[in-house]
Amino acid sequence: MRLCIVSETWSPDVNGVAHTLGRLCRELKRQGVTVDVIRPKPSIAGKASKVTSELQVQRLALPGYAEVQVGLCTPAKIRRFWHKHRPDAVYLATQGPLGWAARQAARRLKIPLVAGWHTNFDHYCHDYGVPWLSAITRRYLGYFHNGCALTLVPTHQQAKALQQQGIHDVNVLSRGIDGEHFSPAHRDSRLRRQWGVTDHQPVALYVGRLAPEKNLALLQETLQAMRNVCPDMAQVIVGDGPGRAQLQKALPEAHFTGFVDKSTLARHYASADMFVFPSLSETWGNVVSEAMASGLAVVAYQHAASAELIQSGHNGITVTPDDTAAFSQAAIELCQHPADYARLGRVARLRVLEQSWSGIAEQFTRYLHQAQENHHASTSACRIRPS
């Protein structure tokens, strides 16, 4: 099978979508799938790894948020690329301008389309002060996805929500984890000493973009409350974004690292004790499974990966979405009980090790074959339909 992935982000970009697509691509190659990619030109020139053919298109960074980019390309240019490298199926990892152009090109060439739901764009409308765009965005997304053979989402919760919005043929494709890379084995006493703690003092960690959609106000409030009851606790914040300056001012005692490379990230996870994650904007949230694999007790909302992976009180702590008081209280109570967060972290790792990338890739391939069958059935029905 030949697959073309269309995405507005790819490695070396640092975000969940790029990470997911990179791991998926590597596993698909191992299983004999030929993978091509269409993406915006990277900021550092180079070819995407693990792909056979590639089309790089014009790149446009969003104003005020240079880390986020969209791709601009005409359907005609994509058709010319596919005439040379015709795929058996196309995976749209973006519903933005590049995804729309590829959707138009694929429908013109009668190539089966599978769309992924990687970003909750309607949620972002509220976070960025344009809530009036939310309904319009939902209508557009419904039209976009209902023009595809299948839509893949990472959680059953998300699948149910999209079905209620009128999106058809929604299926669940979870996310994997590399349990060797993200592991308690990478705990680093020297790194902890840099944070000013001994082997027995607690460390609370956050990993993610520092942007409005990540619920930074609650993160700040929760970390401050934890520090009040546990003054010897270190706070480590990995990531960057437009909210960093304000958060750094509010939490002067916290350690801000900015973005870090993959091996450094693994050491940061393993060297912490608790993972505090108040965001409700994720479709999955790779950071949750990475923290669990690293042996951390996670405090999160019952949403996305946390809803799928965490049994509250058994392998982590989850609370009802938007219950800010319950979220902060859960974190405050946890940081005062070392035996509890150690136990939760041990069981958390056992749970996420069930999430293998090879199994995810196999399931993805089955969905691609299903999309081909659905596509051929629908086109055959069109051909025999009486006029």
Label each residue of 239-301 as H, E or C: ECCCCHHHHHHHCCCCEEEECCCHHHHHHHHHHCCEEEECCCCCCCCHHHHHHHHCCCEEEEE
149-189 pLDDT, tens digit per residue, is 999 999 999 999 999 999 999 999 999 999 999 999 999 99
- What does the pLDDT read at residue 80? 98
- What does the pLDDT read at residue 123? 61
Percent of the chain with pLDDT over 70: 93
CATH fold of 184-352, please? Rossmann fold (3.40.50)
- Domain boundaries 2-176+356-384, corresponding CATH code: 3.40.50.2000
The answer to whether residue 379 scores a pLDDT higher than 70 is no
Coil, strand or helix at 224: helix
Q: 7: how many CB neighbours lie within 10 A of its CB?
A: 26
How far apart are alpha carbons 332 and 251 in whole angstroms? 16
The answer to whether residue 203 scores a pLDDT higher than 80 is yes
Q: Residue 45: which pLDDT band, with cuts at 50, 70 and 90?
A: confident
322-352 pLDDT, tens digit per residue, is 999 999 999 999 999 999 999 999 999 999 9
Q: Residue 43: which pLDDT band, with cuts at 50, 70 and 90?
A: confident
- What does the pLDDT read at residue 49? 84
How far apart are alpha carbons 236 and 102 in whole angstroms? 41
Alpha-carbon torsion, ordered 108, 105, 27, 373, to 10 deg: -20
238-271 pLDDT, tens digit per residue, is 999 999 999 999 999 999 999 999 999 999 999 9
132-146 pLDDT, tens digit per residue, is 577 888 899 999 999
Domain boundaries, the chain: 2-176+356-384, 184-352
Among the listed residues 299, 319, 290, 51, the one whose alpha carbon sits nearest the alpha carbon of residue 186? 290
Radius of gyration in angstroms for the set of CA atoms belonging to the chain, rounded to a whole number: 22
- What does the pLDDT read at residue 293? 98
290-327 pLDDT, tens digit per residue, is 999 999 999 999 999 999 999 999 999 999 999 999 99
Percent of the chain with pLDDT over 90: 83
Same fold, 2-176+356-384 and 184-352: yes
67-97 pLDDT, tens digit per residue, is 668 899 999 999 999 999 999 999 999 999 9
DSSP-H helix ranges across the chain: 16-30, 75-84, 97-109, 121-127, 133-145, 156-164, 189-194, 216-229, 244-250, 262-271, 286-293, 304-309, 324-335, 338-352, 357-384
How far apart are alpha carbons 214 and 278 in whole angstroms? 7
